[in-house]
Amino acid sequence: MIIVMNPHAEQAAVDRVVKEIERMGAQAHLSQGKFRTVIGAVGEEGNIDGSHLASLDGVEKVVPIMKPYKLASREFHEDDSVVEIGGPSVPKVKVGGKHAVSIAGPCAVENEEMLNKIARHVRDGGATVLRGGAFKPRTSPYSFQGHGETALKWMRACGDELGMPICTEVMDTRQVELIERYTDSFQIGARNMQNFDLLREVGKTRKPVLLKRGLAATVKDWLLSAEYILSQGNRGVILCERGIKTFEDSVRYTLDITSIPVAKQWTHLPIIIDPSHAAGKRDLVPAIAMAGLAAGAHGTIIEVHYCPSEAQCDGPQALLPETFKELMGQLRQVAAILGKEFADAAELTSA
Q: Give me the domains of the chain, ranges plus CATH numbers.
A: 2-63 (3.30.70.1140), 83-350 (3.20.20.70)
Confidence of residue 47 (pLDDT cuts 50, 70, 90): confident
Measured CA to CA, the distance from residue 45 to residue 233 in angstroms comes to: 19
- At residue 66, the pLDDT reads 84
CA distance 218 to 245: 11
Are the C-beta atoms of 274 and 291 separated by less than 8 Å?
A: no
Comparing 46-55, 164-173, 206-215, 219-228, which segment has the lowest mean pLDDT? 46-55
Angstrom distance (rounded) from CA 2 to CA 51? 12
Pairing of strands 129-131, 83-85: unpaired
Average pLDDT over residues 160-181: 96
* 95-145 residue pLDDT tens: 999 999 999 999 999 999 999 999 999 999 999 999 999 987 767 776 777
pTM tops 0.85, yes or no:
yes
197: Cα within 13 Å, side-chain hemisphere: 5
pLDDT score recorded for residue 351: 47
